[in-house]
Structure 1
Amino acid sequence: MENCPEQPPLFTFGVIADIQYADLDDGYNFTRTRRRYYRSSLQLLRNARESWLESAVKPEFILQLGDIIDGFNKGHDASDRALDTVLAEFSSGPAEVHHVWGNHEFYNFSRSALLRSRLNSTLHIDRTVNAAPADRDIYAYSFSPFPGFTFVILDGYDVSLLGREESSPLYKDSLSLIRQHNSNEDLNCPVFEGLEQRFTMFNGGYSKVQLDWLESVLTSADENKEKVTIVSHLPVHPRSTTPICLAWNYDELLSIIRSHLCVVCFMAGHDHDGGYHKDKDTGVHHLTLKGVIETPPDSNAFGTVSVYEDRMELRGSGRVKDRVFLFPSRLQDTDQRAT
């Protein structure tokens, strides 16, 4: 008897993080303990693009999880040139790209410039989005690639010292917050005390305005019995990353996620080593994708995710492992409602 053919996915999408391209020789991280492959990161992006182009099922979209070019570009007056180079690779790919903003975006560009740029995906995709309040310069939105599924892109540097004018109240509030936890003269140096390490200048957080907007998106998704994947540059579960890469107010965002039935997965970058944790209380999967920038030229760091009614399957390449994300069983109970 012939085997039944494998069930095709509802849709697929690609994921890649921390490309940090620069036309520079290899270097090292801040502590000079980790090699960074600035120039060859472009070839690894090409490898990902070619894989997605050759897939039997083409991705519906690509998630670029932030830090698309390296901050060193700014000092070489190469920010625009480097961004053009990387975006040219994406533009010849198979699908629209949803760009997330990380700290290196703000090392290269102001927030106002980013909002006008090709890294503001809401300006350049042929898809209806639900954006955060227009009266604030928050880069957050949601979209639905397939009936019953919603993706939410969050702005992890809405509350931050990066991308804000030093004279602005938002900058001053962020400085006051970080100074409560970090007394170092150089705010990029962490205080090495457990989760307090997250209060550095290269991290940020989520404002009440953004969190309230997220609440409204998730409440609607609960009512419509949708499955939601949240995406941000900064991880929000302490067991999915090293503490030095956590969002400042990760606990507030985790609390919101845990109060809604619809969330199935949270995807992030920032931590180049990557990480994974399944929240035991909710069954939500927290994936931190390994970074391209610290991936040797003879390897890879990207993935393709196939989405089914009951799960997502990540097929990784190189440093990115294969994983299966079963959707929480609580989603099958149609009598449950979010509290």
Structure 2
Amino acid sequence: MDRRSEEPPLFTFGVIADIQYADIDDGYNYTRTTRRYYRTGLQQLKKAQRSWSESDPKPDFILQLGDVIDGLNAASGASESERALDAVLAEFGYGPGPVHHVWGNHELYNFSRSALMRSRLNSKALADKSPDGSPARADIYAYQFSPVPGFRFVVIDSYDVGLLGREESSERYQDAKNLIQQYNKNQDLNCPPDTDDLSRFTMFNGGFSQDQLAWLDSILSSADEKQEKVTIVSHVPVHPGSTDSVCLAWNFEEFLATIRPHRSVVCCMAGHVHDGAYHQDEDTRVHHLTLDGVIETPPHSAAFCTVAAYSDRMVLKGAGRVMDRVFLF
């Protein structure tokens, strides 16, 4: 018997993505090829919460990878967006530990960035309070936390550069619009360019400012010195091997160039795509996981996972559509 199987984990955490709850009947994706289960998202979350609460040990925290409610709520007005968010956050309140929320495009369909900063989806209060836990620029939703010594998680803002949630008159909106229109010549900027290499330049994606990348580089340099193991968490995937080309961060190359020199980075987790994917970078050996989305998970199945962290690996136990995996460091 592998003696490691008897070793207790240093900590555990749960992960769930793309719940996209709305109190409406089922629909389909934009190409009408995949069913979307809007109303049963709450039941799927309850299923995950029950599993986490009954597990031994219980997760120390939960990562919610974005798109917690669907953009269709906004069509019925701000009050419906608030009701949907209240319903989902109430369910998260029954869970075993604190929830670290990532912002996705659907959060930004329902609320402005400034409103999200004031909302319960801003989990920056869970960030490290140590001198090394310095936050990113105030208008960037990015922070870090360390669940146990030797491990660090960094929540990053994959719509820091983007159109969603910003006033059209703002300088940041205009800068992002000028950028996307260099590559996307369509009148509807939600329609991807025909070229695969450029198809990520749509409104429903975004990217990372130089300020955020510099902040991340600083965090990782500190983690290198301390020989920590770092997991980076975003909504939009950051590696072309872990997603289709249309759901990739705008400046993923700059992001990968930022993390490449840092031996501390062991894993990047994302949502957004709805179909799970995994890739290990051949050069850096970083594990890139894209989690299956609840929104396209039939009610009889599930889409969440529990991760146990050890000194030399993370062991992912999936439920339903999510596959079991082992990430060796």
Could you say which TM-score interval applies, normalised by the shorter chain? Answer: over 0.9
- The within-5 A match list for 1:239-258 is 239-258=241-260
TM-superposed deviation, 1:128: 3.2
Amino acid aligned to 1:302: F
Query: Residues 66 and 102 of structure 2 are in contact (CA less than 8 Å); yes or no, is this contact kept in structure 1?
Result: yes
Match of 2:93 in 1: 91
Mapped to 1, the partners of 2:213 and 2:197 lie a distance apart of 21
Mapped to 1, the partners of 2:169 and 2:76 lie a distance apart of 26
Where 2:107 maps in the other structure, the secondary structure is helix
1:171 corresponds, among 167, 173, 180, to: 173
RMSD of aligned alpha carbons: 1.4
Mapped to 2, the partners of 1:126 and 1:251 lie a distance apart of 27
Mapped to 1, the partners of 2:169 and 2:276 lie a distance apart of 35
1:132 corresponds, among 120, 128, 135, to: 135
Query: Residues 66 and 101 of structure 1 are in contact (CA less than 8 Å); yes or no, is this contact kept in structure 2?
Result: yes
Q: Deviations over 1:214-249 (max 9, x none)?
A: 000000000111000000001011010001000000
Query: Residues 127 and 144 of structure 2 are in contact (CA less than 8 Å); yes or no, is this contact kept in structure 1?
Result: no
Match of 1:22 in 2: 22
Match of 1:81 in 2: 83
Match of 2:305 in 1: 303
Mapped to 2, the partners of 1:157 and 1:163 lie a distance apart of 9
TM-superposed deviation, 1:256: 1.2
Q: Deviations over 1:40-77 (max 9, x none)?
A: 11101000000000001010100000000000001112
Mapped to 1, the partners of 2:76 and 2:305 lie a distance apart of 31
Query: Residues 239 and 256 of structure 2 are in contact (CA less than 8 Å); yes or no, is this contact kept in structure 1?
Result: yes
Where 1:180 maps in the other structure, the secondary structure is helix
Match of 1:31 in 2: 31
Q: CA 1:87/1:235 → structure 2, altered by over 3 Å: closer, same or farther? A: same
Mapped to 1, the partners of 2:259 and 2:67 lie a distance apart of 25
Match of 2:212 in 1: 210
Mapped to 2, the partners of 1:17 and 1:145 lie a distance apart of 20
Mapped to 1, the partners of 2:316 and 2:241 lie a distance apart of 19
Q: CA 1:214/1:147 → structure 2, altered by over 3 Å: closer, same or farther? A: same
Q: CA 1:310/1:170 → structure 2, altered by over 3 Å: closer, same or farther? A: same
1:108 corresponds, among 107, 110, 125, to: 110
Match of 1:334 in 2: none
2:199 corresponds, among 188, 197, 200, to: 197
TM-superposed deviation, 1:34: 1.3
Mapped to 1, the partners of 2:119 and 2:218 lie a distance apart of 27
The two structures have a TM-score, normalised by structure 2, of 0.96
Residue 159 (structure 2) pairs with residue 184 (structure 1):
no
Match of 1:221 in 2: 223
TM-superposed deviation, 1:122: 1.3
Where 1:283 maps in the other structure, the secondary structure is coil
2:124 corresponds, among 119, 122, 125, to: 122
TM-superposed deviation, 1:131: 4.7
Query: Residues 242 and 278 of structure 2 are in contact (CA less than 8 Å); yes or no, is this contact kept in structure 1?
Result: yes
Where 2:224 maps in the other structure, the secondary structure is helix
Match of 2:60 in 1: 60
Amino acid aligned to 2:36: R
Match of 2:292 in 1: 290
Q: Deviations over 1:143-164 (max 9, x none)?
A: 0000000000000000000011
Match of 1:234 in 2: 236
Mapped to 2, the partners of 1:309 and 1:128 lie a distance apart of 24
TM-superposed deviation, 1:257: 1.4
Mapped to 2, the partners of 1:157 and 1:319 lie a distance apart of 27
The two structures have a TM-score, normalised by structure 1, of 0.93
Match of 2:157 in 1: 155
Where 2:274 maps in the other structure, the secondary structure is coil
TM-superposed deviation, 1:133: 3.5
Identity of aligned residues (%): 66
Amino acid aligned to 1:56: D
Match of 2:325 in 1: 323
Mapped to 1, the partners of 2:33 and 2:270 lie a distance apart of 23
Q: CA 1:255/1:5 → structure 2, altered by over 3 Å: closer, same or farther? A: closer
Query: Residues 132 and 210 of structure 1 are in contact (CA less than 8 Å); yes or no, is this contact kept in structure 2?
Result: no
TM-superposed deviation, 1:5: 7.0
Query: Residues 127 and 143 of structure 2 are in contact (CA less than 8 Å); yes or no, is this contact kept in structure 1?
Result: no
Q: Deviations over 1:1-51 (max 9, x none)?
A: 9x8970010000000000000000000111211110000111010000000
Query: Residues 131 and 140 of structure 1 are in contact (CA less than 8 Å); yes or no, is this contact kept in structure 2?
Result: no
